[in-house]
Amino acid sequence: IATMENKEFVDQDDLEEAPDKIRWGRAKKSSVVDERDRRITAYHETGHLIVTYLQHPKDDVFKVSIIPRGPAGGVTYSLPSEDEMFRNRDWFVAEIKVLLAGYVAEKVKFGVTSSGVASDFQHAMRLAHTMVWRLGMGKSESLGDYASIPTEQLSGDVKERLNTETREI
């Protein structure tokens, strides 16, 4: 980063920017993003922030930014204050709530939502699917990793039950 800006030395700003650039991509210049998009992003990320605080009280919100990077319009990044080796159903459900909070914040404030919810929805669906299909965390608490079985070997009833439980989450 320092080299790209023709700096003679690496400074603290470069050190703070480096992990963000690697994790989320190059920051877009604020003059490129219009005020409406900045407001939507601010409410979206605030939704994630508030629900993280409420649902994951052991997590420290490390960074919230409305600077667009790569495909993301903004980011809320938290770190657990304690290392956890295993996650239980409550953690997964709380994480899904955090992911959906940006959508809810946009809907409450603006009455509509933006395409900024796409990756949150994708991640939430993936977590719900993992809970049911791989970890036995659905309503029926079915045993086994159904995701490891080719879907054509599962009966239609089993697939429908697993898909229904995923949708319920």
Annotated active-site residue 45? The verdict is yes
- Contact indicator for 27, 71 with CB cutoff of 8 Å: no
Rounded CA gap, 117 and 53, in Å?
20
Residue 130 DSSP label: H
Rounded CA gap, 157 and 161, in Å?
6
For tokens 């239980």, the residue is 88
- Contact indicator for 104, 116 with CB cutoff of 8 Å: no
Q: Phi/psi of residue 82, each to 5°?
A: -130, 145
Which of these is catalytic: 45, 95, 106, 165? 45
In this structure, what token pair is assigned to residue 74? 């903004």
3-state class of 117 per DSSP?
helix
Q: Phi/psi of residue 87, each to 5°?
A: -115, 140
Mind telling me the catalytic residues? 45
